[in-house]
Amino acid sequence: MKDDKKNKSSLENLSGNYAADDLNEELERLARTFQQELDKAKQDAELNEKLGDIVQGLPDEETLEEADLCAACGERRRDKSVSPDYEYCSVCREAMRHYPLSIPALLLTVVLAVVAVVSAIDFCGYIDGYENVRLARKAEKENRPESAVEYYDMAIAIFESDDVSAKRLYLDSADDLMFAMPRGRSTMEDVCRRLQKAVDTIEAKIPLYARYNDVNEEAGAMAATLDLVEQTMNDEAFADYDGKDEETYKQIIAKLDAIGEQTVTVDALDGSTVTRPADLSVLYLMEYIFAYSTDHLDDTLRYLEKTEEAAPERLSLYAYEMGLVLVQNGDANRAKKYAEKLYAANKDSVYGPCLYATIYRMTGKPDEAHKWVDIAIDEMPDDVDLKRQKAMIYLSEDKPQEAYELLGGLMNDSSFAGYAQFYMTYIVAAHELGKTDNQAAAEEKLQTLETAYTDRMNDYLAGKLTAVQMFTKGTGDVE
């Protein structure tokens, strides 16, 4: 009873505490709250319903085959829009466009690029040397071996100044010298020197250098044969030989022939000593020179033919002399063949043009003769004998004035040291023009050389031979 009364009084108190408006407000607030919660619940319900649909729409993992997975990441589906067989997803494909560069590869390439540039700079530093080698090779193709050797020597000097080995240049220049043989014995020694410089004793045993071993031995044998010839000629037994005694001539020839049966020793490139037969081409050439200098003209052609037979490729040894002998004997056509071979083989040499000039001079074609001697003079403008050749052409076409002026220029040069054939040719020109003073001056110079007039000069001065005949008939020269 007391509790009921308490409760009743509490309620009465509550009613008393809350005014009607306040109660309404509270109820309205509660109503709004309930409505909000109800709306939220409805939204959640709708969202859940949608998510439920989506989840239901996703394939289960068991339905995505491994063949459909990206080969790179293994998670995403392959991008079939690229091609049906494409192996990667779109995300990985995009990443592949930016595949990072390998740092080691980058560094290596940079280093190689720097080395390449340094290589190019080094090449530029020796460009003059390489240019000389190029010019040497070009000269070889143009059959100008002597020019080629000059260019090789310039290149060798450039490279060797920096201790750069140039073996190939020594070998190639030795080949050119061996072919051209421009300076006789000193050339043979030069060939051996170059080959020894290029090929050491160990390399000499390699088959690659076998050919150069042969060249070295060949050049050495030629020089050694020359030594034997010189020993024979300097033999005391022949010290008094004046070139006239027939018996002594035959003895000397017999001794020289005996050299052909001998052997010579040569220093090989591998350091050993090799024995080879004496070089017959050199021997026969020396016999030709001996026969010619002792007026045994009947023997000259025979020795030259033997020289050619012994070494047909060594045109420089015999071709010019052979051509001269043939044209002197009236066989101009055969002489021309030697001139052709000589000129074709070595455009640097003046012997080919000189032989052509002689052939045309002696066959009555002075214009052609002038053309060829001018080619020779262009090659060697300071050569005195070429000027004498030209003067002989003028004299052969009865133009002594031109010959006199050409040779007179040299006669007036105080530093000029002439030789017998030059002075005799000048004397002919002066004699034709009646210049007796100049002729006497030349005769004095001839006397200083202790040389007497040749038989042909005596015949000319005696009136038995005209100037034109002097240079177009017989030997075609003053001797």
Partner 1 sequence: MTTLYIVTRFLTFFGAEARTFFEHLTCRILKLPIEDTRAFKPSELCAHVEHELAPKLGGAFLVCWLPFTLTTLMSCLFLLTGAYRILYIGDYSSLISWLLLWLGFSFAANCFPTFEDVLNLRDKLYGQKGHTVAKILLAPYFAVFFCGAWLERFSITFLTAGVFTAFFPQIFTAIFPLVKNIVQMSSDI
Cβ-based nearer residue to partner 1, 94 or 309: 94
Query: Judged by CB under 8 A, which of 70, 89, 129, 147 binds partner 1?
Result: 129
Query: Judged by CB under 8 A, which of 98, 414, 450, 463 binds partner 1?
Result: 98
Backbone dihedral angles phi then psi of residue 274, each to the nearest 5 degrees: -115, 145
Query: Judged by CB under 8 A, which of 2, 5, 50, 97 binds partner 1?
Result: 97
Query: Judged by CB under 8 A, which of 116, 157, 237, 297 binds partner 1?
Result: 116
* Minimum distance, C-beta of residue 329 to partner 1, in the bound complex (Å): 47
> x/- site string to partner 1, residues 176 to 215, per CB under 8 A?
----------------------x-----------------
CA distance linking residue 298 with residue 325, whole number of Å: 10
Mark the segment that binds partner 1 (CB under 8 A) among 34-42, 124-132, 241-249, 285-293.
124-132
141 is a site residue for partner 1 (CB under 8 A): no
Query: Judged by CB under 8 A, which of 122, 298, 367, 450 binds partner 1?
Result: 122
The two counts, helices (H) then strands (E), for the chain are 22, 2
102: left (phi over 0), alpha (psi -120 to 50) or beta: beta
Residue type for position 282: V
Query: Judged by CB under 8 A, which of 123, 157, 344, 474 binds partner 1?
Result: 123
Helical ranges in 346-471 per DSSP H = 351-362, 366-379, 384-396, 400-411, 420-433, 436-448, 455-461, 467-470
CA distance linking residue 124 with residue 62, whole number of Å: 70
Q: What number of chain residues touch partner 1 (CB under 8 A)?
A: 41
* Minimum distance, C-beta of residue 65 to partner 1, in the bound complex (Å): 22
* Minimum distance, C-beta of residue 139 to partner 1, in the bound complex (Å): 14
Strands 273-277, 263-267: pairing kind? antiparallel
Rg (Cα) of the chain, in Å, rounded? 53
* Minimum distance, C-beta of residue 84 to partner 1, in the bound complex (Å): 15
Cβ-based nearer residue to partner 1, 65 or 122: 122
* Minimum distance, C-beta of residue 122 to partner 1, in the bound complex (Å): 5
Which residues are within 8 A (CB) of 194 and not within 5 positions of it... i.e. 6 or more apart?
A: 170, 171, 173, 174, 177
Nearest alpha carbon to residue 257 among 280, 241, 277: 280
Nearest alpha carbon to residue 227 among 201, 189, 182: 189
Instruction: Kindly state the tokens that stand for 441.
Output: 């001056």
Mark the segment that binds partner 1 (CB under 8 A) among 6-14, 96-104, 244-252, 390-398.
96-104
CB 220 within 8 A of CB 267: yes
Residues within the interface to partner 1 (CB under 8 A): 88, 93, 96-99, 101-102, 105-106, 108-109, 112-113, 115-117, 119-120, 122-124, 126-127, 129-131, 133-134, 137, 155, 159, 164-171, 198
